[in-house]
Chains A and B, each alone.
Chain A
Amino acid sequence: MGILSLTKLLADVAPQAIKETDIKTYFGRKIAIDASMCMYQFLIAVRNESGQLTSIDGETTSHLLGTFYRTIRLIENGIKPVYVFDGKPPELKSGELSKRHEKRVEAQKALDKATEAGDAAEMDKFNRRLVKVTKVHSEEAKQLLSLMGVPYIDAPCEAEAQCAAMVKAGKVFATATEDMDALTFGSKVLLRHMTFSEARKMPIQEIHLDRVLEGLNLNQGEKYKNIEAILKNIDKEKYPPPENWNYEGARELFTDPEIMDPDTIELKWSDPDEEGMVKFLCSDKQFNEDRVRNGCKKLLKARSGTTQGRLDGFFTVLSTTPAKRKNDDKKNGPNKRGKVAGGRGRGRAK
């Protein structure tokens, strides 16, 4: 899925829509996390030399380790996460999904070849491509989350659509995912890199839908209204539209996705079940007991006491003056100046 190069386009056209922030600035916020995206991230990223982390029986535990530590990190920073899991894939994507299946078969073949040749780098590469989030992974993650006292939701269909609906209804502050799709579903605020590991020191990207649309001079309806017009106007020989392009169906997927009514959802965070976690993670999955108990203490500590309030609610924003494009200054070469008088004119004259 995803939208080709949308981030890049936004950086060029609507730079004010993207803000880089630190995880610490989200304390007290409720955030919906696209769980399927997360699981995938963990399966890919949480590894040792020989591949995914496994228990003695060879069962994968990367997703659990990831869920455990990254969730603790979020809660320690005062964030209230709610995980949203994918339901059934939308029918329209079946074509795309079967294509992916083919790719997996190819990757498997390549992996076999690399294994035969003993090429470790290639093996690792194709191993990563073969990663797939299974039902078992999701179920285990859900079990862990409920032991940790973190709520999760099973979306009827696509998780991003459900997240977006919850943001729109004011149930949560933002959607955390890497996939820009959440914007097209109408998520007002999208956070990227939220569940990355601390060691990577990646700033969180906060993307605001209203500023995106402002920057692109669109309103959300128009975005979809115009595909017919585009089809009529473009040179079809030069840019052949895809065959069997069911764009009307695709549009419906975004404007009227299958979701659970956000008002019926009740989000509740509770104390972690320490013994339950120890039993699940340590005896079943062979995690280190000290670490699990330690993590549990962190969760409990973060839950106790008072939460720092935010000023945003008390004051109203009267006007916003965004900084001028930083790129302009870079283009102007060595005289790096913060605020260049008439800089805009020069930028255009290139």
Chain B
Amino acid sequence: MFEARLVSSAIFKKVLDAIKDLLNEASFDCSESGIQLQAMDNSHVSLVSLTLRSDGFDKYRCDRNLTMGMNLGSMSKIFKCASNDDTVTIKAQDDADTVTFMFESKKQEKISDYEMKLMNLDQEHLGIPETDFSCVIKMPSAEFARICRDLSQFGESIVISCTKEGVKFSTSGDIGSANVKIAQTSNFDKEEEAVTIEMQEPVTLTFACQYLNSFTKATPLTNQVQLSMSDNVPLVVEYQIPDLGHLRFYLAPKIEEDEN
């Protein structure tokens, strides 16, 4: 028996909105410690890793480890039927072939049940090595989303270069080129507006706009985003889900074509 209850269904809606463009379907691994999802997009360029800790739920019970393959499009349709302040309960029997989502309105006067068929998915569990990143940038998530959106009008890829002074996002294309520089902020009054850079050595990497723009769909989840970069390893874009866990995106960099 699996049961997880969360007072705000809005968090689930936001998570689904953030990942449903990259993944058509995914397996949710449920265990005593919480719910995890890890999947690469079809082209094996990006990876989504979602962790929701059991202690962040208002009620959580998982008797046996359970893997539920779900179509994210269908799941998103179901969550569209819930109001933001509805309480959501996810239920499944051990070895079940369906999962039930129950939405309760705030005053308990309306209760809706949605049952969804589970899917049988091929899945690969990937081991993600611990990396000490050369640069870790924390910045307002809305600002990052804005930059990605703006620059993607000019070119297909964005070059992110991080130095002690700040972070530079640049691109070029048919109409011209664009550069956005963000400096580290010295005032720490408003934590959610701060830009902080921890740097061991400078890094410059190139990424496809298309994927960055998909990642920034997670912006409504939280005020800050963390970008971790090292030479020749994937970029990690991390959004914290307050009190519940985190959503991480990994993206393989673009590489210079070598002639030989």
Which A residues are closer than 8 A to B by beta carbons? Answer: 16, 22, 24-25, 27, 268, 303, 305-312, 314-324, 326, 329, 337-342
**Closest residue of B by beta carbon distance from A319:** B125
- Residues of A near B40 (CB, < 8 A) are 311
| B157 located at the interface, meaning its Cβ lies under 8 Å from any Cβ of chain A in the complex | yes
Given A25-B43, A305-B257, A306-B206, A318 contacting B127 (CB threshold 8 A): yes
- Complex Cα–Cα for A238 and B201 (A): 75
Given A337-B97, A338-B117, A340-B97, do A310 and B44 touch, yes or no (CB 8 Å)? yes
Residues of A close to B44: CB separation below 8 A: 25, 310-312
Contacts of A309 in B (CB 8 A): 45, 252-255
Q: Contacts A306-B157, A316-B126, A318-B126; is A311 near B119 (CB within 8 Å)?
A: no
Interface residue? B142 (CB, 8 A): no
- Shortest distance in angstroms between A219's beta carbon and chain B's nearest beta carbon? 23
**DSSP class of A's interface residues: helix, strand, loop or mixed?**
loop
When the two chains form their complex, are residues A338 and B254 in contact, meaning their CB atoms are under 8 A apart? Answer: no
- 28 A-B pairs in the complex with CB atoms less than 8 angstroms apart: A22-B42, A24-B43, A25-B44, A306-B157, A306-B256, A306-B257, A307-B254, A309-B45, A310-B44, A311-B46, A311-B252, A312-B44, A314-B234, A314-B250, A315-B127, A315-B129, A316-B126, A317-B125, A317-B127, A318-B127, A320-B123, A321-B125, A322-B122, A326-B120, A337-B97, A338-B117, A338-B120, A342-B95
Closest to B96 in A: A341
B117 partner residues in chain A, CB cutoff 8 A: 337-338
**A316 and B252 within 8 A (CB):** no
Task: For A308, list chain B residues within 8 Å (CB).
Answer: 45, 208, 252, 254-255
Q: Are B42 and A25 in contact (CB under 8 A)?
A: yes
* Closest chain A residue to B68, Cβ basis: A339
Separation of A18 and B130 alpha carbons in the complex (Å): 32
A306-B206, A339-B69, A340-B97 known; A315-B255 Cβ under 8 A: no
- The reply to whether A27 and B254 contact each other, CB–CB distance below 8 Å, is no
The total number of A-B Cβ pairs within 8 Å is: 98
Cα–Cα distance between A27 and B46 once the two chains are bound (Å): 14
Contact check, A310 vs B128: say whether CB atoms are below 8 A apart. no
B260 interface residue (CB < 8 Å to A): yes
B124 within 8 A of A: yes
Give the distance in Å from the alpha carbon of A25 to the alpha carbon of B44 in the complex: 7
Chain A residue at minimal CB-CB distance from B123: A321
List the 3 closest pairs (A to B, CB-CB), nearest first: A309-B252, A306-B254, A315-B126
Cα-based distance from A312 to B40 in the complex (angstroms):
9
Number of B residues with CB within 8 Å of any CB on chain A: 38
B119 lies within 8 A of A338 (CB): yes
- Residues on A with C-beta less than 8 A from B23 are none
Other than the known A308-B254, A311-B40, A338-B118, what 9 A-B pairs have Cβ atoms closer than 8 Å? A305-B157, A306-B157, A306-B206, A309-B45, A311-B44, A317-B127, A319-B124, A338-B119, A339-B120
Q: Give the docked Cα–Cα distance between A341 and B68 (Å).
A: 13
Interface membership of B47, Cβ < 8 A: yes
A316 to B125, CA, bound (A): 8
Contact B45 A310 (CB under 8 A): yes
Q: Collect the chain B residues with CB atoms within 8 Å of residue A314's CB.
A: 129, 233-234, 250, 252
Chain B residues lying within 8 Å of A319, measured Cβ to Cβ, are 124-125
Q: Of all chain A residues, which has the CB nearest B211?
A: A308
CB of B211, distance to nearest CB on chain A (Å): 9
Q: What is the chain A residue whose CB lies nearest that of B25?
A: A338
Give the complex CA separation of A311 and B47 in angstroms: 8
Residues of B within 8 A of A310 (CB): 44-45, 252
Contact mask for chain B residues 103-134; partner A; CB cutoff 8 A; 1 contact, 0 none: 00000000000000111111111111100000
Q: Contact at A323–B121, with CB atoms within 8 Å?
A: yes
Q: How far is the CA of A326 from the CA of B120 in the complex (A)?
A: 9
| A312 contact set on B, CB distance < 8 A | 44
CB of A172, distance to nearest CB on chain B (Å): 16
Residues on the A chain within 8 Å of B234, using CB = 311, 314
Give the residues in chain B near A25, CB-CB below 8 Å. 42-44
Shortest Cβ distance from residue B28 to the other chain A in the assembled complex, whole angstroms: 13
B72 vs chain A, min Cβ distance (A): 14
- Closest-by-CB residue of B relative to A21 is B42
Q: Which residues of A contact B126 (CB under 8 A)?
A: 315-318
CA distance A31 to B230 in the complex (A): 30
- CB neighbours of A315 from chain B (8 A): 47, 126-129
Q: Take A25-B44, A311-B40 as given contacts and tell me if A339 and B127 are in contact as well, using a CB distance cutoff of 8 Å.
A: no
Q: How far is the CA of A22 from the CA of B117 in the complex (A)?
A: 26
A219 and B149 CA atoms in complex are apart in Å by 52
